[in-house]
Amino acid sequence: MKHPNPNHWRGLEEWEDPTSVREQAETEFIDTPLRIGAEPGRRDFLKATGFLVAASSFTACSRPPEEKALPPVVQLEGDVPGKSYRYATVCGACPSACGIVAKVRDGRPIKLEGNPAHPLTHGGLCATGQASILSLYDSHRAQLPRAAGKESSWDEADARIAEALAAARQGSGAVRVLSPTITSPTLLRQIAAFVGGFANGKHIVADPVSASAILDAHERTHGVRRLPHYQFGKAEVVASFDADFLGSWIATTEFTRGYTESRLADQAPRKAAWHTQVEARYTVSGGKADERVKVAPWEVAAALEHLVAKLASLGGKAFVPGSTAPAAEAMAALDRLAQRLWNARGKSLVLYGANEIAGQQLANFANELLGNYGSTLDLSLPSLQRQGSDRDLAQLLGEIAEGKVAALFVLGMNPVADLPLNEAARKALERIPMLVSLAPREDETAAIAKLHCPDSDPIESWGDAEPVAGLVSVQQPLIQQIGKARSAIESFAKWAGKPASAYELVQTHWRESIYPRFAAAVPFETFWHKALHDGFAEVKPNLAAAGAFSTTAIAPLEKKAAATAMLQLYVKPGMLDGALAYNPWLQELPDPVTKATWDNYASISPAKAKELGVKNGDIVRVGVGETTRELPALVQAGQHDALVAVALGYGRKISARFQDFGPKWIDHRATTGANGLVGINAAPFLAFEANTVSYLRPGVTISATGKRQALAVTQTHHTLSVPENLDPGGPPRPIVQEVYLSEPEKFPATDPEDVPELWPPDHPYPGHRWGMAIDLDACTGCSACVVACQIENNVPVVGKDEVMRKREMHWIRIDRYYSGDVENPSAAHQPMLCQHCENAPCETVCPVLATVHSSEGLSQQVYNRCIGTRYCANNCPYKVRRFNWFNYPREDKLANLLLNPDVTVRSRGVMEKCSFCIQRIQEAKIGAKQEGRELKDGDVVTACQQSCPANAIVFGDMNNPESKVSKWVKNPRRYRVLEEINVRPSVHYLKIVKRSGEKPGEEHHG
């Protein structure tokens, strides 16, 4: 059947009315700050002329101001001014504790990158990790202890704590430390020593995004409370039940790397990789899956149980499921999935995302039946990236409510905002005689704490990490401390009565406890320096072996009545639990799935939206029991009708700073919502169920309110479709292309190189010829590249209002296209950046030659020549040019220290775009020259390429036939976007590999 809709579409808007987006494309560049429709009159002419005369005479008069040049006080050996140095350390943004390399220039860390040598992540770093460098230069960071809202000193704070602790020792009051997972062995030791000093002292570990049930389930099935180390690189078949391992689940950077590695489609013989995602919400992993089984939210656990039953029967064991079977279609999919898993025994993975012990046990049972323990799940070298226990947390909250806690130290957590505390619980928390918050900036908990003793930033203090048993890393300071915060390691040592510097404490712990676990016989200093240099060391684990699988704990699920609708609370990739809600980069990063920025929202299915009569941005009232919140709705394709999904991590006090964010001008609208914050905090919807925090809540009600709060969604911005007036009713363009595994072993090549050419071949590329290739099959849309590029190239953040005007400045964006069934589509992610076309349409229209072609194939943008006509942006078929409508905020002197000194900060009225990281090309070229050698492949690594956890981007010299990019370009999957207009881009894409289904006939494309 001929379908009227394109094969790939950008959003529901385009699916429902394909011409709407194309009509919008017509006016994309007519948007100006001046009122549309008003003819420029005489007054405007006079104003403009007067301004011109005044401005030109002023600039003609001025001499550049006198400038001082301050040399360093002492020239350190090996520290050359203007040169960048790279130091290995540990990322502190989340408990994944990825190995990173920090780029330090003139004593200032200016960029974090993944450590290519690190055995877990191999060089990738997620958006959150990249963006976390801003916390170092955050001028809102707490610099001194505060007592009851007033600035205090460390001596005073320590004295007050000593007093309170002495009182606690006298009485029988409990002393508690509450933290999320801590991977630092030294910090754990300090906390243990501290709480060990009290008769009733305890360290409670609870994660704001809990994986407690996985650990509890392993305690029951294997006798050890551990999180297995998932080895996606070894897993050929992945069955995920609502575990968004490519988006936000546990250690996504590492998982993404393993996942793409196990799915490489170009190897011979082809790997039989397969990924089924069973879910109700539409996740990053769901969009990427080979098969996405959409079930009702309460059916996810049932689906898992029925899969277990099928696997048990394949394994000759009996298991009778207790839950009601999901719909027949889902059952058929589960049948196929069970067979695939069974065929890949020992090379498969069954994952369950919900924080619910009974279901997790079933997932363990499935993996046990498949013989995956010891191969794709490692329990002997477990992951230490989630250690939280919801049971301990519940117990602590009970103790607090009963008034038994004399002192509570909160580290790395914000219980007031993270946890579902009712009024009584909050009052009880305030009543604790000594509530100490170690938050780096004043958050909701610090505001009610008796003392706020800020922890220092990971980039300015010593520390360490053991993310996976046996893999240890040192975290080294890369700058002298900014401000007077104190590292938690030092604080706890001080409060335990044994003050020492963090450096001493870390080194002592390594000498005493980690060095003895090292196998090779080298002196400690050698071991320490090597670990410091490499960023990690592999030592023997110090854990007991896990027990054998015990089936006694395995029980069928209870039969539950089908709910009518459920609320799912989830975390967005990038924003995660909200600890980085102060970070404008992450706030403006489009969500990989919804493409929404600057807000959280109630995500509902198209059918539900129709039923409620709401569209994107209409405020709905969401309620579970007594708790109700009003927030804008967002219509999400592929989501189950019975699900409402709301992201956690929003509505944070630390986002109040964005109140006046964005350029100040007459039409400016606020970035924050009615509450003065970005988004709504959804944590009150969470609840404790059977000693675990439940993220899936039954009995949700949702109703329209008639109010509106527009959402800044970039979904349909910068469309590549033909404007409707240019080609009325024309066919859609094949922007995203796919190959099918069912096609012959060698993918058919499409290489239309010999097309007639209007331009004379007068552009030889005698030296280098820079080019890029992007594997769309590997790209998961995680958006690490977007933030990496933003930091590397000083790309401004513009604020919600400007995003709504399609003026986001990201040089690389990720276009997300849906394809297939609108009820259950699959997603394709296409990183889109300047294509550096050989026949660049932008270059021919610039009246001042501000964008010209280089002899190495770059489309250069010369800021100082640009006069801002925007002709080039109008003529760019890829819509990758960005115009500086304003001088974007650069008032924060401290944050400005983070600017890359190798890239110009563009001013108002100037066009900009991806430069292929020309500063890195220049650096590599001059570096090679300095060493007296030729540039070799791999010397130039662009920021986006460096950050990619999926290894989806390669960059290099296409004149060198041996370069990686040349090889990728020879891949039969290669194509170029909009090949038909023959602008000859230097960016090549590798087609997506569809592992399911047959290549559709031509009519499906049209």
Partner 1 sequence: MSHRIISLLLGVGIVMSLLLMAGRFGGARVPANQQGYEPVQPIAYSHRLHAGELQIDCQYCHVAASTSRHAGIPSGSICMNCHKQVKATFGVVRQEDEAATAEKRPRRDVVSPELRKLFTDLGLDPSKDLKDQQVTQTVAWTRVHRLPDYVYFDHRAHVNAGVSCQTCHGPVETMERMRQHASLSMGWCVNCHRDATKNGINGKRVNASIDCSVCHY
Residues in contact with partner 1 by the rule CB under 8 A: 42, 46, 49, 53, 56-57, 59-64, 66-75, 80-83, 767, 852, 854-856, 858, 860, 862-864, 902-905, 915, 918-919, 922, 926, 929-930
Q: Rounded distance, CA 493 to CA 503, Å?
A: 12
* Nearer residue to partner 1 within complex by CB, 61 or 318: 61
The residue whose two tokens read 């379908």 is: 3
Q: Which CB atom, from 361 or from 900, has the smaller least distance to partner 1?
A: 900
Please, what is the minimum distance in Å from the beta carbon of residue 157 to partner 1? Answer: 31
State which residue, 559 or 929, has the beta carbon closest to partner 1. 929
CB of residue 601 to partner 1, shortest distance in Å: 38
Least CB distance from residue 30 to partner 1, whole Å? Answer: 29
Q: Which is nearer to partner 1, 539 or 846 (CB)?
A: 846
Tell me the CB-side half-sphere exposure of residue 95, using CA atoms within 13 A: 27
Distance from C-alpha of 584 to C-alpha of 656, rounded to nearest angstrom: 11
Query: Which of residues 826 and 835 has its CB atom nearest to partner 1 in the complex?
Result: 835
Q: How far is the CB of 49 from partner 1 (least distance, A)?
A: 6
d(CA 871, CA 847): 8
CB of 341 or CB of 918, closer to partner 1: 918
**Helix extents (H) in 857-950:** 871-875, 893-896, 918-930, 943-947
DSSP string, 210-224: --HHHHHHHHHHHSS
Q: Name the residue nearer to partner 1 (CB basis): 70 or 521.
A: 70
SS (H, E, C) 761-787: CCCCCCCCCEEEEEECCCCCCCCHHHH
Give the integer Cα–Cα distance in Å for 696 and 110. Answer: 40
The residue (of 336 and 853) whose beta carbon lies closer to partner 1 is 853
Strand partners, 227: 383
20: which 2 tokens? 């709407």
CA distance 210 to 832: 35
115 vs 509: CA distance, rounded Å = 24
Q: For the beta carbon of residue 173, count every other beta carbon within 10 angstroms.
A: 22
Question: Least distance to partner 1 from the beta carbon of 844, Å?
Answer: 16
Instruction: Give min distance, CB of 474 to partner 1, in A.
Output: 28
**By C-alpha distance, which of 648, 475, 658, 547 is closest to 224?**
547
Q: Is beta strand 227-230 parallel, antiparallel or unpaired with respect to 974-975?
A: unpaired
> Residue 26 in contact with residue 723, Cβ under 8 Å?
yes
CA distances in angstroms from 448 to 99, 162, 428, listed in the order given? 35, 20, 11
Pairing assessment for the beta strands 537-538 and 471-475 based on DSSP bridges: antiparallel
- Smallest separation (angstroms) from partner 1 to the CB of 46: 7
Angle at 761 (CA atoms; ends 755, 763), nearest 5 degrees: 125
**CB 908 → partner 1: shortest distance, Å?**
14
* Encoded tokens for 866: 């640009």
- Our CB check for partner 1 shows the closer of 352 and 916 to be 916
Angle between helix axes 299-314 and 357-369 (nearest 10 degrees) is 30
CA 708, 128, 905, 482 torsion-angle sign:
positive
Least CB distance to partner 1 at residue 683 (A): 44
Angle ∠(790,893,90) on CA atoms, nearest 5: 55
Between 5 and 907, CB nearer to partner 1: 907
Q: Which is nearer to partner 1, 5 or 56 (CB)?
A: 56
- Closest CB 864 distance from partner 1, rounded Å: 5
For residue 121, the minimal CB distance to partner 1 (Å) is 29
Query: Strands (DSSP E) along 94-151, which ranges?
Result: 99-105, 108-114, 146-147, 150-151
Rounded to a whole number of angstroms, the minimum distance from the CB of residue 354 to partner 1 is 49
Q: How far apart are CA 373 and CA 548, in angstroms?
A: 10
The answer to whether 773 touches 238, Cβ cutoff 8 Å, is no
Closer by beta carbon to partner 1, 381 or else 852:
852
Q: Shortest distance, CB of residue 81 to partner 1, whole angstroms?
A: 5
Alpha carbons 228 and 913: distance in angstroms, whole number: 43
CB 413: neighbour CB atoms within 10 A?
A: 25
Nearer to partner 1, 348 or 794 (CB): 794
Give the residue from 693, 919, 718 showing the smallest Cα distance to 807: 718
Q: How far is the CB of 142 from partner 1 (least distance, A)?
A: 30
Which pair of structure tokens corresponds to residue 196? 């060990």
Nearer to partner 1, 59 or 480 (CB): 59
Residue placing its CB nearer to partner 1 in the complex, 551 or 887: 887
